[in-house]
Amino acid sequence: MNNKIRSTTILGMIHNGKAAIGGDGQVTIGNTVAKHNSVKIRSLFNGKVLCGFAGSAADAFALLSRFEEKLEQYGGNVYRAIVELAKDWRTDKYLRRLEAMLAVISKDKTFIVSGTGDIIEPEDQVVAIGSGGMYALAAAKMLKEYSDLSAKEIVEKSLKTAAEICIYTNDNITVEELAE
């Protein structure tokens, strides 16, 4: 049996001046659902940054902790904190082994930080990671273009679409909006 932990679908975006991020609640080990109601998104730096994670939970929490330290160190400068985290991720022997990805949203920027230390800043300000990420991303791009829904509504509906397609994604969804 393959005991690889598979989790999750995270989707975030900035749309019409509002930022939102959401994730499903399923954690899967091999072909077994281990948990239905996990929360994989966090509000950081006094509600000014939203972050979601995919991959190994322990690894993701280690990265979240390191990212939060960088945010504090650089006074909430999200870009600088991400660059410094990515540098550490690529050069630190311990961090290099972590199997996780982060989706990060501030009031005006979206980022994906990959397990190889890459920083991706999508032009359309929509980020998606995890096993169902591309399903949610496709749905979000269409809803963003052809609907009048809010960022939060698009995130929720797109994650529900991913849950209908991806066996590693459920419809127990948590969505957070960035504080004004």
Residue 1 pLDDT exceeds 50: no
Per DSSP, the residues of 82-148 read HHHHHHHHHH-TTGGG--EEEEEE-SS-EEEE-TTS-EE--TTSEEEEETTHHHHHHHHHHHHHH--
Here the CATH number for the domain that contains residue 135 is: 3.60.20.10
Token pair in block for residue 111 = 């980022």
Contacts of 12 (CB under 8 A, 6+ apart): 19, 20, 21, 22, 50, 52, 103, 104, 105, 110, 126, 127, 128, 155
42 in helix, strand or coil? strand
User: Of the ranges 61-65, 71-75, 101-105, 161-165, which one carries the lowest mean pLDDT score?
Assistant: 61-65
What residues act catalytically? 8
| Backbone angles phi and psi of 80, in degrees to 5 | -65, -40
User: Of the ranges 30-39, 74-83, 88-97, 119-128, which one carries the lowest mean pLDDT score?
Assistant: 88-97
Full residue range of the structural domain in which residue 135 is found:
5-177
What does the pLDDT read at residue 24? 96
Q: Sign of torsion, CA 164 166 170 175?
A: negative
- Higher-confidence residue: 93 or 22? 22
Q: How many domains does the chain have?
A: 1
Q: What number is the average pLDDT over the span 148-158? A: 97
CA atoms of 159 and 107, how far apart (whole Å): 21
What does the pLDDT read at residue 2? 43
What does the pLDDT read at residue 56? 75
What does the pLDDT read at residue 87? 84
